[in-house]
């Protein structure tokens, strides 16, 4: 494929006001100004980009897409396993329903990659996966799995288990359960390394890459005290942590910067429907970024429909975030935080040919993709409508 005469937002370099972009076998092979554009090969598919912008497909780093289906049916809700508070061995890919309609809605908002998996009912919920949004069977959409281990603090674990004779009923218990399983796994590793053969434990096996810093941890934490607990646990066990939601993070931005952990802010477009989001502000992402914290933005699809993802970044701009940083927060910065920037997040030769073609400001409420290419293939019908 050869796209020419298009404005190119590389995301890892200066914009090209009039350039070309070439793909082959699902990868980007060349990008440059039109003054350096080669002649298209015979039979090569040529796309005229006059009046359009080309940028990387958006990356939504925290969703439950395909796991919490677009349905009120109980059989379509596989997001929280409430039979056991700690389930690190569960794999999000085993719950993805690829025919769920929001996969198409994701593409209509320019989203080509998501991180999806378990919800936040459990202190340790299981393994997250990075997938494309083509709507093919999950193994065909898979970009990387596992991509992170999901953990959760605050009201969600309390609400799911408190008062029914099951832990945790308090914030202390949620943190304590995480700590307990990390200590168990540390001892499990010590036994293995010493040549002692412990009884096989699937949970410990799943947590070994976490303690070896081979697998990042995404910790659900809205309130400032929960964010501080996430930082405390992460330092105690030297975890490779990402702070998810971080609703009150702007209140302790300096502490987060000093701790050195990136954050994922969102959903930005939501009601204050539970006590721990009473301090929700659209200024949060901008204040954290201005403090020097790496910031991505998420939809938390299942809470905010993914079709409003780019609008969330636009709201962050309205709240004071620099436009470029907001765009990076749903492309390159998001990919870096998810550790998938070797594949997606910028229009760099060698990366996947996930390309959004659109008119006007990509963060505008009026943005409507002309086309979204995933791995070099168009994913929206010409003249598409919902």
**Above 70 in pLDDT, residue 79?**
yes
**Above 70 in pLDDT, residue 211?**
yes
Contact predicate 327/56, CB 8 Å: no
The pLDDT value recorded for residue 165 is: 66
Rounded average pLDDT over 142-166 = 88
**Above 60 in pLDDT, residue 163?**
no
Q: What is the DSSP string of 286-347?
A: HHHHHTT--EEE--TTTTS-GGGHHHHHHHHHHTT--HHHHHHTTTHHHHHHTT-TTTSSS-
**Above 60 in pLDDT, residue 41?**
yes
The pLDDT value recorded for residue 162 is: 67
Averaged confidence pLDDT in the chain: 95
Rounded average pLDDT over 278-300 = 98
**Above 80 in pLDDT, residue 29?**
yes
Q: What is the pLDDT of residues 270-279, one digit of tens each?
A: 999 888 999 9
Q: What is the number of other CB atoms lying within 10 angstroms of the CB of residue 381?
A: 8
The pLDDT value recorded for residue 69 is: 75
**Above 60 in pLDDT, residue 71?**
no
The pLDDT value recorded for residue 275 is: 87
Q: Considering the chain, what percentage of its residues have pLDDT values greater than 70? A: 97
The pLDDT value recorded for residue 384 is: 80
**Above 80 in pLDDT, residue 385?**
no
Rounded average pLDDT over 289-302 = 97
């Amino acid at each position: 494929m050869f796209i020419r005469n298009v404005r190119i937002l590389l995301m890892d370099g200066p914009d090209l006001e009039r350039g070309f972009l070439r793909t082959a076998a699902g990868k980007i092979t060349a990008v440059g100004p039109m003054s350096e554009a080669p002649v298209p090969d015979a039979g090569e598919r040529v796309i005229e980009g006059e009046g359009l912008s080309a940028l990387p497909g958006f990356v939504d780093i925290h969703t439950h897409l395909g796991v919490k289906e677009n349905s009120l049916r109980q059989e379509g809700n596989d997001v929280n396993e409430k039979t056991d508070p700690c389930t690190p061995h569960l794999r999000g890919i085993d719950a993805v329903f690829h025919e769920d309609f929001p996969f198409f809605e994701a593409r209509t908002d320019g989203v080509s990659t998501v991180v999806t998996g378990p919800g936040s009912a459990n202190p340790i919920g299981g393994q997250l996966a990075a997938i494309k949004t083509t709507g093919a069977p999950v193994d065909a959409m898979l970009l990387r799995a596992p991509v992170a281990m999901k953990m959760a603090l605050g009201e969600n674990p309390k609400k799911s288990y408190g008062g029914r004779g099951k832990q945790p009923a308090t914030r202390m218990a949620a943190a304590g359960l995480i700590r307990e399983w990390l200590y168990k796994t540390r001892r499990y590793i010590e036994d293995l390394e010493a040549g002692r053969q412990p009884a096989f434990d699937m949970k410990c096996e799943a947590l070994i890459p976490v303690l070896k810093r081979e697998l990042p941890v995404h910790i659900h934490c809205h309130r400032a005290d929960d964010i501080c607990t996430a930082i405390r646990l992460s330092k105690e066990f030297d975890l490779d942590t990402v702070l998810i939601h971080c609703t009150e993070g702007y209140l302790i931005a300096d502490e987060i910067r000093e701790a050195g952990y990136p954050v994922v802010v969102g959903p930005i477009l939501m009601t204050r429907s539970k006590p721990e989001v009473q301090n929700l502000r659209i200024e949060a992402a901008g204040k954290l970024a201005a403090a020097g914290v790496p910031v991505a933005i998420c939809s938390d699809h299942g809470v905010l429909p993914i079709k409003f993802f780019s609008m969330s970044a636009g709201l962050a701009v309205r709240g004071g975030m620099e436009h470029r940083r907001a765009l990076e927060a749903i492309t390159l910065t998001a990919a870096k935080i998810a550790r998938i920037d070797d594949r997606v997040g910028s229009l760099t030769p060698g990366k996947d040919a996930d390309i959004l073609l659109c008119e006007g400001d990509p963060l505008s409420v009026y943005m409507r993709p002309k086309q979204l290419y995933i791995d070099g293939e168009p994913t929206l019908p010409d003249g598409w409508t919902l």
